Structure formats: C-alpha cells, structure tokens
A and B are shown apart, each in its own frame.
Chain A
Amino acid sequence: MEDREIRNLEKAVEQIWEIALRFGLDPYPTNFEIVPATVMYEVGSYALPGRYSHWTFGKAYQRMKTMYDFALSRIYEVVINTNPAYGFLLETNSPVQNQMVIAHVLGHVDFFKNNIYFSKTNRRMVESVSTHAQRIMDYEFRHGRRTVEEFLDAVLAIEEHIDPNFFIRHEVSAEEEKRRAEHRPAEGRYDDLWSLDKTVNTAAPANTDAKDVRAGLPQKDLLFYLMENSPVLQPWQRDVMAMVHEEVEYFIPQMQTKIMNEGWASFWHARIMRELDLSDNGHIEFADLHSAVVSPQKGKLNPYYLGYKMFENIERNWDDPSAEDREKFGRNGGDGRAKIFEVREVESDVSFLRNYLTEELCEELDLFVYELVEEETWTISEKRWERVRDQLVANMTNFGFPYLQVEDGDYNGNRELYLKHCYEGTELDLRYARKALEHVQRLWGRTVHLETVVEEDVTVLHYDGEDHRED
C-alpha cells in the first residue's frame, strides 16, 4: 500500500470516527492495523493475538488458511476488545471495503465499551494472554511439551463450563454473619494489624485435603471446582487451569452477545456509510458488500442479519409505535434512537430475543423450527412465532452448551466426582460425553459420574479411568 493510500485511509478513519460520535456512539480509541492475510487468519483462529500454543489453534488456523486459499471464505475484519481497541484491516481491501470495515469495527468497539455484560472484561487482555503464553511455554520447558499439551487437551474439553457470573460475590448468609460477629472481639486501637495476618492466611494454598470439598455445591463452575478441589493436580496444572479460566471469562460476554454485537455493528456500518460521500461505483460496491454480510442464507440463520433486522425493527417501533403500544405502554414515538442505545446497554442475546423478537419480524424473516424426523429428513416442525422465539432462546442458553453442575466431590465417601447434566429436553451426544468424561477423570484422578437423560430415562455414566459403565 502506498503512502498516499495510507493517508487517505487515515482521513477516512477520522471522518468515520466523527460521524460515529455524532450518532451518539461511544467507542474506545481504536487503532487500525493493516495486515496481510496470514496475520488476519492467524488472529482470527486464536481469537486474540499472542495466545498460548496448542494444536487445536493450529487446526483452526489450517482450516481458515485453506478456506482462504481456496477463496471459500474471507475475513474482512477482526476486532479486539481492549482499551484502546484494535481493528485489523486486510491489506488487499479496497478503499470502500476499508471504510465499511472501519465503521463496522467502531460499532463493535462501542458495544464492547457500553454493554453491561462486558463491564468486567479485562481490557488489557492482550498483555494477559501473552504472559499466559510465556508461563505455559515455561511449563512446557520444565515438564515436557507433550505433558502440558495433553493436560491442556483435558482442560479445553470443559473450558465452557464456567460460571459467567463468577464476578458476583456469594452473599454471606445472615446467620453466618452473626456467628462471625459474635467471635469478633471488640475493636481495639491497633486491631487493624490483625487483618495483615489474615491476608497472609488466605493466600496459603487452597488445596489441602482437610478442606470441605462439598462447600458451595452444587457448583456450575466445573473448571474452577476441579482447579480448587482435585486431589491430584500439581501446582503448575492448577495455574494452567486458572489461566484458561481467565481467558474463557474474557470470551464469555462475546459468546453471550453474538447476535446483538454483530447486529449492532452492521446497523451502524450501514448508517455511517450513508453519511459518506461515496462515488456511484462506491455506492454499488458498498451495497454489494453490505448485502453479502447481512444476507439471509436459506435454511440457515445469519446472526448479522437477524441482529441487524431486530435493531431496525426496534428503532422503527419506538419511533412510530402502533396504536396499541401507545395506549398500553404509553409510548409517544420518536424514541427509537434512545431505545436502541438502551437495548445495546442492558441486554444479552437471550434477553434481546426474548424481549424484542416480534411476531411481525418472525414472519418477515420466515423463521421456523426444524428437527430430524425418523433419522432421515430435516423437517420444519413449528412456525408459531412464540415457539420459534422460545426455541431460539433455548438454543442460546448457556451459550449453546449443556448445563452441567458439580453435585458432589466426595461421592460414595470416596472423593469421587458426581456431575449432573441439567436436562432440559435435549440429550447429550453420548459418544462425545464419554470421551469428555475421560478428560474430566484425568483432571479429577478418581472415578467420575455424570447424570443425564438417555432415551428419556435418567442414566448415570461412570468412568473410573479404565472402563465406562452406565446405569
């Protein structure tokens, strides 16, 4: 790219930034980086630059590279949720492509900054993951690459099973509080010195056998529970689990707001591009690109398209409410812009769909529920909009993963681990469940059990390190 083009791009960024602010967007400062395709799909396959090494990233990388090499797919944009934020631009992008990507990225960054689910994310995550990578490399050096890699295999098998509300401190019950107060002596003048002692105590290793492995059960955060309570893990292994936990924490809000986030960014790139003084050809090129991004795909559900249509729909309904809405909810109209900013602040995909997917939109998008009939044909089984909406919400719940919780860490009085799949109508992939259970067993070191439902019967899968058993 020539200097002149870079200067033009700089001008475009400034212009788009100003338009975005005028619309009320409030993104972090954003640095754009022009990169070759290799870097683009590298960042794309690791989700963050500089993460630790693992063969699964290499697998994702190879897949993306192949898709790119055969022109099956193309990544236009990668954005990193940090402060300042980073947007990556493919070096072969045309000027119009770049403008659209810049506008789209600013939409994402505004969302990252202002959506409540992101309020606890680490905005210096790139630095964090690179220290993680360093530490893991160090462990590989000390314990052998293969040992660390295989341990990571086991940890990654359960990485999604963390508690997204991990940052909420569990309230101490009133009784416990009273008991503590009773044991607290009257405060003296130098008593604050005691608290120094206390912090030292709590920093002591948490994994002694004496501690109560049943405290706080049932526990949704499987990864955390194993890290804290497994009888067999080495300190370095607990550290690796803590790092993976921290990284998953960072990605969870993105998993929780995929449709909204993409919808919001698409909504704003469309609005911003309208304000730019594009040439005729530029307009056509943009229209082409935009429709490629937000086009419905037959049979599939494009999150960009669904989110985009929903934000447009909300804006319209609050700008010009129906007579019923005016009467029932006291809506006066003209509040569309304010409303979508409120939505982008307080909702996640689950609540977004539950609250704002309307009958008219379900019909317009021709949404339906489909399922496999007689193990042969994928058939549309439901078109009633509430059912469709509820199914969509159900599939998004727990970011699309089965909800597991730890029931007991001393099952059979033998320190065995008892997990329960909270069955809500969809059964597990049993072959996968058995293999994943093997990974859990590796982390726990003793027999593990998983209660689930198979063919509508409650079934417990057992794995003792050698054999699988079911009853």
Chain B
Amino acid sequence: MSIQRNDWSLQRKGIIDQERHKERVREAIRKNLGSIVSNEAIILSDGKRTVRVPIRALDEYKFRFDYHKQKHVGQGDGKTRVGDVIGREGQAGQGKGGHQAGQEPGSEYYEAEVNIDEIAALIFEDLHLPFLQEKAKKAVQSKKTQFNEIRRTGVIANLDKRRMIMENIRRNAREGHARFGDIKKDDLRFKTWEEVMRYESNAVVIAMMDVSGSMGEFKKYVARSFYFWMVRFLRTKYDNVDIVFISHHTEAREVSEEQFFTQGESGGTVVSSAYQLALEIIKLRYPAADWNIYPFHFSDGDNYYSDNDEAVRLAEELISTCNLFGYGEIGEEGSGSYRRASGALLSIFNDRLKDKKHFSGVRIDDKEDVYPALKQFFGRRGIETPA
C-alpha cells in the first residue's frame, strides 16, 4: 500500500501516437482532396481557422452488428410504454440510447479537424498561373528580407544562440576542456540579412459568373466554391494579382468580392454581355501589353440561342488578348456521365473556337469535380517564364 508521485514529464507516448494518427489524417486528406475542396464546412467557414470534415478512411473496421437492425436495451424515467418514440434517426444526441457522440457504431464517418491553411497548402502545391509572361514595362518590384549570413557583429536581437554556444564550446575545447561557459565577445555570432528584390509580372484574373435563374443552388455553390479556392490560391501564391468580379444574367455588372460571393439573382442568360464587359475593362484598365490576363467564366451553358454567335466571337477576341480563357460548365447535380450533345455553350466552344491552346473548358456535374477543374485551369503547363 503506498502513495506515489512520480515525475511524468517525460511521458510522451500518447503524444507520439497522436502524431501517428495525425499523419494518417493528413494522408487521408491528401487522398480525399476532391471531396474536401467542395465541403460546405470549408466554403462556409467564415474565417474560422479549422473545420471538421468527415473522412472515411480512418474508420477502424471490425466485424460488427448493424446498429440500425439491432435491438437495444434502454432505461426510462418510470413512465415509458411500448410504442413510445425515444429518438429519431439522423438527429445527433437526441437520446438515441447508448449513443455517445463520436463513437457510436451508427456514426458513418470519422470527422477530422483540419486546418484550412494546411489544406490550402496541399491544394495549391501544384497550381500555377499558366502561360505567365514577363511584361517588363510595368513589372512591380517587391522587397523581401532573407536571413542568410552569420557575422561576428550585429544587433543583439539577432544573436544566434545555437552558433554562439557551439563557438564557445569549440573555443573552450581548444583551450583544453570542452564545456559550455565563460562566454567572450569572440563567441558571439549574429544573423544578418540581405534584401532581395523580386520582380513579378502583373496579372489580372477576371472572374465571371452566371447568376441567371437557371443557376440553381447547387450550380451557384459549385461556381462559388471554385472561385473561393481560386481567390485564395491567387492571394497566397502571388503578391500582385488583381481580381475583377463580374456577375451577369442578361446584363453584366462589375461587383465587389462580397457581392460576387453572396448575391442571388434571376433572369435569362446573355453570355456575351459578360465578355463584352470583360473586354471593356481590359481595354480601359489592363492593357495586354502590360498585363497577364486570365478571364474565367462559370455558367450552366444555357445561353440564349441568338446570343451564341456573338458569344463565340467575343470569346475568340478574349482568347487573342489573354493568356488563358477558362470556361466551366456546371451540369445538374449528379447527372453523372450525361452530357448534353449540343446547344450548351461548352460544346459550341469546343466546336467553333479556333485557337484552343489558350482555351480550357471543363464540365462539372458533381461537387467533387471542383478540384479537378482547379487542376485543369491552373495545372503546370505553358510556363514560359518563372513567376
């Protein structure tokens, strides 16, 4: 019989294995980027740093009973009768009996807490602005400091303690006893920096979105989640990228970022209106000689028939002035392999556009297609000068 009190401060096993678990989570995330990219929790995260996303790969599979086909025993408050309803399926924590949040056998997924920045880093890993060219005339300089040298003098705040200790031990060793202590001025080492100039090409991205009546909840959601990641991607990777937001139905308007992501509208679709506006904005503010220009357009492809010729003509014009014109066509939710044979804008573009090198069109039928679309538009290709 005894009471003990030991020093447990070196006990790390749980933390080490937690790291193993996290590694599995990261791997699962990498494998499931497609579904995570379009996860509501992230798109609607509203500035939160971490969100919970379901990840199936982390279940611990066993032979077990089907919780929903099993009879269970519960306990009431003394007044229960046969036929009483004690809970409803699908409502978490509603006295389902025997359920404990997060570990009940009925729960379908393991939910991992993920950091949005980490996911963004994974997604953006191989995304670039394609066909980026040096536009020397208005190239903007950006200054960066890099700590890349060690000197014997410097500001005390930049003292490199590790190197100082090494120098001290080295000097003591030379004098006959390798130990740390008795620091002299000779031992001090300081980190110093250099200023590095970076020249970046100017780029502008024109985000166009169809907000007509035929763009239902799902379609708008897909378009917005694509632009959500696009904006984030551009802002993380490039210091000097302008983004112009245009939403259109029968008429096009330049809108603020907030309006672009939140507004709902209705009406018919005249695609050429958006292209017209884009061309005007380019002419006025972003001359092609000075800017790399990337117009993107998302629509359900349900354009007014009479507008198609005009749309193709303006698209050609966009392509000839821009580095890449990207067009994404969003289908009905879950329509799978179903493709409209003709009439929709994507097939018209594919048929009639002459210069396809600088045109990229994708079809999105499922939320999970958003990630592949990002990869197609911003994948590594046509990089003529390093960004």
Contacts and interface: CB of A to CB of B under 8 A. Distances in A.
A169 B90 CA distance: 48
A455 to B, nearest CB: 10
Interface in B44-69: 58-69
Contacts of B23: 55
B2 interface: yes
Given A42-B14, A368-B82, 15 more contacts: A6-B3, A13-B1, A31-B3, A33-B3, A35-B8, A39-B11, A45-B14, A62-B21, A299-B87, A299-B95, A365-B75, A377-B89, A402-B65, A429-B65, A430-B66
B313 interface: no
B86 interface: yes
Contacts of B73: 301, 367-370, 388, 391-392, 395
Interface string B1-28: 1111110100101111111111110000
A30 interface: yes
Interface of A is mostly: mixed
A59 B58 contact: yes
A118 interface: no
B105 interface: yes
B386 interface: no
Given A9-B3, A160-B62, A378 B88 contact: yes
Nearest to B65: A426
B247 to A, nearest CB: 41
Given A42-B11, A54-B20, A301-B75, A428 B4 contact: no
Given A6-B5, A42-B11, A298 B63 contact: no
B145 interface: no
A34 B3 contact: yes
A63 B97 contact: no
A91 to B, nearest CB: 8
B181 interface: no
Contacts of A235: none
A38 B8 CA distance: 9
Interface in A412-471: 421, 426-430, 432-433, 435-436, 438-439
B78 interface: yes
Nearest to A14: B1
Contact of B16 (A35, A53, A375, A391): A53
A371 interface: yes
Count chain A CB atoms within 10 A of each CB in B14, B59, B87, B105 and give the residue with the most: B14
A352 interface: no
Given A427-B65, A428-B63, A32 B20 contact: no
Contacts of A161: 63
Contact of A38 (B14, B60, B98): B14
Count chain A CB atoms within 10 A of each CB in B22, B64, B71 and give the residue with the most: B71
15 contacts: A34-B5, A35-B6, A38-B8, A56-B21, A57-B17, A58-B22, A299-B97, A300-B98, A366-B77, A367-B76, A381-B82, A382-B82, A429-B64, A432-B61, A435-B61
A297 B75 contact: yes
A33 B11 CA distance: 15
B352 to A, nearest CB: 44
B75 A55 contact: no
B185 interface: no
Contacts of B79: 366
B103 interface: yes
Nearest to A44: B14
B3 A372 contact: no
B63 A401 contact: yes
A193 interface: no
A370 B71 contact: yes
Interface string B73-115: 1111111111111111100000111110011010000000000
A47 interface: no
A305 B73 CA distance: 14
B85 A377 contact: yes
B5 A1 contact: yes
B72 interface: yes
Contact of A404 (B11, B63, B85): B63
Contacts of A267: none
A306 to B, nearest CB: 8
Contacts of A126: none
Given A368-B73, A378-B88, A31 B1 contact: yes
A61 B62 contact: no
B70 interface: yes
A381 B85 CA distance: 9
A298 B89 contact: no
A146 B184 CA distance: 48
Interface string A386-404: 0010011001000001101
A298 B76 contact: yes
Contacts of B24: 55
A328 to B, nearest CB: 28
A421 B24 CA distance: 31
Contacts of B3: 6, 9-10, 13, 31-34
Nearest to A366: B76
A118 to B, nearest CB: 21
Contacts of A1: 5
A436 B61 CA distance: 5
Nearest to A159: B62
A147 interface: no
A388 B59 CA distance: 31
Given A429-B64, A429-B65, A33 B13 contact: no
Contacts of B58: 59
Contacts of B16: 53, 58
B53 to A, nearest CB: 16
B111 to A, nearest CB: 11
Given A58-B19, A436-B62, A380 B83 contact: yes
Contacts of A32: 2-4
A419 to B, nearest CB: 9
Contacts of A370: 71-74, 86, 97
A404 B71 CA distance: 20
A275 interface: no
Count chain B CB atoms within 10 A of each CB in A56, A59, A378 and give the residue with the most: A378
A36 interface: yes
Contacts of A29: 1
A370 B85 CA distance: 9
Nearest to B69: A427
A301 B74 contact: yes
A296 interface: yes
A375 B68 CA distance: 8
A366 B78 contact: yes
A58 B1 contact: no
Contact of A432 (B8, B20, B63, B76): B63
A65 B17 CA distance: 13
Contacts of B5: 1, 6, 33-34
A368 B96 contact: no
A327 interface: no
